[in-house]
Amino acid sequence: MNSSDILEILNKDELAKEDLLLLLSCYDKDERELIFEKSKAKKKHHVGDKIYLRGLIEYSNVCAKNCLYCGIRAHNHQIQRYTLTVEDVLQSAQYAYENRYASLVIQSGEVSNPHFVDTITDLLNKIHRLTNHQLRVTLSCGEQSLETYQKWHDAGAHRYLLRIESSDKSLFKSIHPQNKTHDFDIRLKALHDLKKAGYQVGSGIMIGLPGQTLEHLVNDLWFLKEFDIDMVGMGPYVEHIDTPIFERRHELISQQKRYQLSLTMMALLRILMKDINIASTTALDAIHPTGRIEALNIASNVLMPNLTPVKYLENYHLYNNKPDTFHADSLVQHIEKNATIHGSRIALGEQGDSAHYWRRKT
């Protein structure tokens, strides 16, 4: 496409699916630059120049599920299973509080027994007491019942991340075992339950999965828009050697292509949904040295420095080459230095709710 065709599409008030497909097919550097410029302008206008921090606590790698792509799936016996102690979690929360992150994410493998549910409830209560109710807490603990979601919301978790992974039912099927615990419709229901329980709801997908087409990705963008999602975390699919899907690695597009596609997807999402929060996901850094910085420059406004105690990090490898090298404070310094060059800044002490959520609520 020539530049004027691209600009004509980008200047439309509403993009149709066909427009998204044309834009997503742009691989040329100059073409993509036009998309990025539009996304940057939308970002500046609708969410400003702030980057919000969420301290990430990888609470436990114990998981009951067997998603075919994930390094901590139950059937991977190559890793040591761990669960943080209450003290570990509270220390990380204290760090986030003292360093004015204003927000935490607690992520873990999916477990839904009563003990796990009560432990998370208890942790939420303790975190809020310790930090004078000054931290916004996000949970990312997989599919749970509506009752559990409500219980955790009552205990002070106000945001929840649950990726749809792919909004295409048959592609979803192809990356999960065929059974009731890995069911597309149940996942969709969980997302609806999260809305019902009052959360700021986050979702997202993996980009560059085997068997995934550009049409799938356009439908994913459409899904996120139609669902009226508040926050998005999406990033490249990254191979993990000890997973079943690794056998299909010959079907994958290169990591460079996955990286480029991820940035274009994030830019299109920003253009499409304007005031949502978009995270700069860690997986970007696994396949490109400046991945997260580029995403923050182009479209995203949320960074999640890892606050998991160092001794556990090697056992939370969802994918190969997961970057652990940056300690949270050096990552924040590094991003701050680079973000300033692009006119953004880290917003310390601000919880950074999704503006979209509050607009949706009023």
Residues 228 to 247 in contact with ligand SAH, rule: CB under 6 A: 237-238, 240
Instruction: Tell me how far apart the 2 most distant CA atoms of the chain are, in Å.
Output: 59
**CB nearer to ligand SF4: pick between 142 and 305:** 142
Q: Which residue stretch of 5-13, 157-165, 250-258, 337-345 sits at the interface with ligand SAH (rule: CB under 6 A)?
A: 157-165
Residue 283 within binding range of ligand SAH, rule CB under 6 A: yes
| Residue 78, number of CB atoms within 10 A of its CB | 9
Residue 72 within binding range of ligand SF4, rule CB under 6 A: yes
Residue 116 within binding range of ligand SAH, rule CB under 6 A: no
Residue 142 within binding range of ligand SAH, rule CB under 6 A: yes
Q: How far is the CB of 348 from ligand SAH (least distance, A)?
A: 26
Amino acid letter, 206: M
Residue 163 within binding range of ligand SAH, rule CB under 6 A: yes
For residues 324 and 314, give the distance between their C-alpha atoms in angstroms, rounded to a whole number.
Answer: 8
**CB nearer to ligand SF4: pick between 110 and 275:** 110
In the list ligand SAH, ligand SF4, none, the entry touching 317 (Cβ below 5 to 8 angstroms by class) is none
Residue 63 within binding range of ligand SF4, rule CB under 6 A: yes
- Bridge partners, 277 (sequence order): 231
Phi, then psi, of 224 in degrees rounded to 5: -60, -35
In the list ligand SAH, ligand SF4, none, the entry touching 203 (Cβ below 5 to 8 angstroms by class) is none
CB-based burial label for 98 (10 Å; 0-12, 13-18, 19+) = exposed
Residue 109 within binding range of ligand SAH, rule CB under 6 A: yes
**CB nearer to ligand SAH: pick between 107 and 354:** 107
**CB nearer to ligand SAH: pick between 23 and 175:** 175
- Helix, strand, or coil (residue 249): helix
Residue 65 within binding range of ligand SF4, rule CB under 6 A: yes
Written as one string, the DSSP assignment of 212-258 is --HHHHHHHHHHHHHTT-SEE--EE----TTSGGGGGGGGSPPHHHH
- 89, containing H or E segment: helix 86-98
| Residue 219, number of CB atoms within 10 A of its CB | 20
Binding-site string for ligand SF4 from residue 73 to residue 112, where x marks contact by CB under 6 A and - marks none: x-----------------------------------xx--
Q: How far is the CB of 107 from ligand SF4 (least distance, A)?
A: 8
For residues 83 and 330, give the distance between their C-alpha atoms in angstroms, rounded to a whole number.
Answer: 25
In the list ligand SAH, ligand SF4, none, the entry touching 162 (Cβ below 5 to 8 angstroms by class) is ligand SAH
Per-residue DSSP letter, 210: T
Dihedral of CA atoms 92, 97, 103, 108 in degrees, nearest 10, equals 10
Residues 285 to 324 in contact with ligand SF4, rule: CB under 6 A: none
Please count the residues of this chain forming the interface with ligand SAH, following the rule CB under 6 A.
Answer: 17
For residues 356 and 274, give the distance between their C-alpha atoms in angstroms, rounded to a whole number.
Answer: 8
For residues 280 and 198, give the distance between their C-alpha atoms in angstroms, rounded to a whole number.
Answer: 24
Residue 206 within binding range of ligand SAH, rule CB under 6 A: yes
For residues 310 and 325, give the distance between their C-alpha atoms in angstroms, rounded to a whole number.
Answer: 10
- Backbone angle region of 60, left / alpha / beta, with phi > 0 → left and psi within -120 to 50 → alpha: beta
Q: How far is the CB of 329 from ligand SF4 (least distance, A)?
A: 27
Structure tokens at 36: 């990025």
Amino acid letter, 160: Y
Q: How far is the CB of 312 from ligand SF4 (least distance, A)?
A: 14
Q: How far is the CB of 182 from ligand SF4 (least distance, A)?
A: 8
Is residue 283 within 8 Å of 165, Cβ to Cβ? no
Is residue 225 within 8 Å of 184, Cβ to Cβ? no
In the list ligand SF4, ligand SAH, none, the entry touching 352 (Cβ below 5 to 8 angstroms by class) is none
- From residue 277, alpha-carbon distances to 55, 116, 171 in Å are 15, 28, 26
In the list ligand SAH, ligand SF4, none, the entry touching 73 (Cβ below 5 to 8 angstroms by class) is ligand SF4
Under the rule (CB under 6 A), what is the footprint of ligand SAH? 69-70, 107, 109-110, 140, 142, 162-163, 165, 206, 237-238, 240, 283, 318-319
Under the rule (CB under 6 A), what is the footprint of ligand SF4? 63, 65, 67, 70, 72-73, 109-110, 142
